[in-house]
Structure 1
Amino acid sequence: MALLTYQGVVYPAQCDAMGHMNVQYYIAAFDQSFWHLVAAAGYSAAWIGERREGWADRRYEIDFLRELPVGSLFEVHSGISKIGRTSLTTCHRLTDKADGVLCAELHAVSVYFDLAQRQSRVLPEVIVRGAGNCMI
């Protein structure tokens, strides 16, 4: 089930020379969406400090389908498409709130990560169980 993971508005400072939202702000929206998605799956941001465990993005594949001009309201719906041993594959769909049209879509692979050892870790069971509730 896809979850609403982000809502935003395009500000003038977020636009590039062509007058639409710049790529860096799509990435920022997708990044924030990811954190909401993994929280829904059972991950706690407190684990960064408490356990020294977090996430490392390994792969991004983005399709930009329609521009968003200044003032556009948009939202991101996200879900998990694959649960691996150490990673989650996620899908994030950014749509224009005015008409629901898909503007950009990200498919990402993010690895559960030991921040001290700088290496992947097996996904905790609580995340594996919770991720099952976020599958698309």
Structure 2
Amino acid sequence: MTELLTYRGTVYTWHCDHLGHMNNMWYAGKFDEASWNLLVQIGMTPTYLRESKRGLATVEQLTTFKHELLAGDSIEVRSQVVEVRERVMRLVHAMYNIETGEVCATCAITAVHMDMTLRKATPIPDLQRRMAQDMLEPISVAA
């Protein structure tokens, strides 16, 4: 599966809670930003979403916390498309501490492609589905 760098940033003091580590609301926000960057890579750009009156609705999101992040830590998120169906995509994000290389959290998302006018699920267009499916398997390069 193709893994893409979809977010890079820093943990600021205002991201930290009374325990001194980054609060879960900030993990969710950084994973959300990574999702938008991943969507651009599969042709679901802001322009596509606006002009076609389409959107993605998250129907399931599971975050797993592995190592705490502290103020000053530099982080990056690497993301993958792990499944593409007619109306549904599943994405997985991994958040890394850049200095240590540790995976600090993961986030698995199931999202449904929506018609924003009808407010119901609609098929993912062929172009975007193919672009997402291309990420499922690494591209072979002939020697």
What band does the TM-score fall into relative to the shorter chain? over 0.9
Unaligned runs of at least 5 residues, structure 1: none
Q: How many pairs were matched up?
A: 136
Residue 133 of structure 1 and its aligned partner are, at CA, apart by: 2.7
> After superposition, where does 1:1-136 map in structure 2 within 5 Å?
1-135=2-136
Residue 94 of structure 1 and its aligned partner are, at CA, apart by: 0.2
Instruction: Please say if residues 113 and 121 of structure 1, whose CA atoms lie closer than 8 Å, have aligned partners that are also in contact.
Output: yes
Residue 87 of structure 1 and its aligned partner are, at CA, apart by: 1.0
- Secondary structure of 1:46's counterpart equals helix
Inter-partner Cα distance in structure 1 for 2:21 and 2:62: 20
Residue 68 of structure 1 and its aligned partner are, at CA, apart by: 0.2
Could you list the per-position Cα deviations for residues 7-61 of structure 1 after superposition, in whole angstroms to 9, with x for gaps in the alignment? 1100011101100111111001111111111110111211332111011001001
Residue 115 of structure 1 and its aligned partner are, at CA, apart by: 1.1
Inter-partner Cα distance in structure 2 for 1:49 and 1:101: 37
Q: Which amino acid aligns with 1:104?
A: A
Question: Over the residues paired in the alignment, what is the CA RMSD in angstroms?
Answer: 1.0
TM-score, structure 2 as length reference = 0.91
Identical positions, percent? 29
> Greater Rg, structure 1 or structure 2?
2
Q: Which amino acid aligns with 1:22?
A: N
